[in-house]
Structure 1
Amino acid sequence: MKLIGWRLKWRMQRTQLWILDCGDLKDTLAVVEYIDDIYAYYKKTESSGCVSPTYMDRQFDINEKMRAILIDWLIEVHYKFELMDETLFLAINLIDRFLERCTVVRKKLQLVGVTAMLLACKYEEVSVPLVEDFVLISDNAYTRIEVLDMEKLMVNTLQFKMSVPTPYMFMKRFLKAALSDKKLELLSFFIIEVCLVEYEMLRFPPSLLAAAAIYTAQCSLYQFKQWSKTSEWHTSYTEDQLLECSRMMVSFHQKAGYGKLTGVHRKYSTSKFGYAAKAEPALFLLGGL
């Protein structure tokens, strides 16, 4: 009986993979033969890139609000330099992992931010901005030597561990499972970028953040709960497992255009990003809270 159950599960898995990836069979870059193993590995190792959701308690001169201001500004820098999405998510991951391990005075926090963006560019980009570009964007608050010294400190502190699963890696796969169109994709990325600014979202692993962002975007677009069996299969999350995170996302979506930190909202209020920020938040998910 156990053997029959295993075979049935294996056949179901192969069917799900075929449905999702059959269109990419001739694309060697899609690595259809290995894609499921790759994402299983990402899921298994995602904790290696996570930080304690209370690490800021060990910082004596910076706080959650300062982190939020820094990341909101870095999202604008990322947009100004026209960098890849992967670069933004990695840069913020580097910042959090570094701050978890090293105490930083507030006047050096922006230096940590631009250095993390520089490192992420070197890892992800084909054409990397110059150190001088980051000095200039920081209004010459730091010198070239200071940036390079911080770069050495960061890579040594992180033991050169740059390749960690970020929410971006899961977003691309999970959007495919959700049969996403451009509208859903842009709204999902708007929601998850809003979450990058929020320190309290560090409590959720990258895969859950990605799945919840897509689920929340679907609820926002269609104004009813929607989470297919295919999405559940490929994300390994049920709708119930996403709800807590999703409700927090709805609250952030609701207030994204207000207050002082509106960088993500302004970015996604442009035609380039499909005016995604103007979508109505899925307030019905907050019912009963």
Structure 2
Amino acid sequence: MLLACKYEEVSVPVVEDFIVISDKAYSRKVLEMEKLMINTLQFNLSIPTPYVFMIFSKLLKLTRRCVYDINKLYQLEQLSFFIIELCLIEYETLKFPPSLLAAVAIYTAQCTHYGFEQWSTTCEWHTSYSEEQLQECSRLMVNFHQSAGSGKLTGVHRKYGTSKHGYAAKTDPANFLLEARY
């Protein structure tokens, strides 16, 4: 818990506070264990996930400047996040770097939203991925989108099927991306 607080919180709690909260079940050994864990991990507490690339994506910021209808922008962003969250539970996506997954989620959302393939040279420049490089992963994402409402793992579909997320899960998938071109 102490490591998690140090990673996420702005102000780090004092060890003595945890000792009091736990009714003195823990002692100074907490600090020793924390030191051992941090050294074992070599201070690598996290790796960038596709979500990090989505949040800090220049492409999403660029899209914000190019799309003047705020509702369309919101729908596009929600659809991008829906698609990327679908990938978090699929083993097939582990072979792709997180930056590619984020770029493909945005690409697939744009294609889904606009009904045609949408990847400009500006998008390519900001992500360093060509449209051809996005195709394989995009087809996977469309398949995930198609089957999101069925099966055992439907939490993401239920989450993005609400008004809070603009009913992104109810958007029809971009089936035309399933046709192999490259």
Give the whole-Å Cα distance in 2 for the aligned partners of 1:186 and 1:121.
Answer: 29
Give structure 1 stretches of 5+ with no counterpart: 1-114, 129-143
Runs (4 or more) in structure 1 with deviation over 4 Å come to 118-122, 125-128, 151-157
Rate the CA distance shift 1:243–1:121 in 2: closer, same or farther, 3 A.
farther
Give the whole-Å Cα distance in 1 for the aligned partners of 2:163 and 2:6.
Answer: 29
TM-score (norm 1): 0.48
Given the alignment of the two structures, is residue 185 of structure 1 paired with residue 68 of structure 2, yes or no? no
Which residue, 170, 185, 189 being the options, matches 2:53?
Answer: 170
Which residue, 80, 96, 99 being the options, matches 1:207?
Answer: 99
Which residue, 163, 166, 174 being the options, matches 1:282?
Answer: 174
**What is the aligned length?**
154
Rate the CA distance shift 1:209–1:160 in 2: closer, same or farther, 3 A.
same
- What SS does structure 2 have at the residue aligned with 1:170? helix
2:139 alignment partner in structure 1: 247
Structure with bigger helix share is: 1
- What SS does structure 2 have at the residue aligned with 1:226? coil
Rate the CA distance shift 1:119–1:262 in 2: closer, same or farther, 3 A.
farther
Alignment of 1:1-289 (within 5 A): 122-125=6-9, 155=38, 157-172=40-55, 173=57, 174-179=59-64, 181-288=73-180
- What SS does structure 1 have at the residue aligned with 2:61? helix
What is the CA deviation profile of residues 122-170 of structure 1, one whole-angstrom value per residue up to 9, with x for unaligned ones? 5235599xxxxxxxxxxxxxxx98xx8xx95865553231253221222
What is the CA deviation profile of residues 161-216 of structure 1, one whole-angstrom value per residue up to 9, with x for unaligned ones? 12532212221322113346211111000000010001221100011000000000
What is the CA deviation profile of residues 243-267 of structure 1, one whole-angstrom value per residue up to 9, with x for unaligned ones? 1011100000100110110111111
Rate the CA distance shift 1:276–1:162 in 2: closer, same or farther, 3 A.
same
Give the whole-Å Cα distance in 1 for the aligned partners of 2:11 and 2:158.
Answer: 26
TM-score (norm 2): 0.73
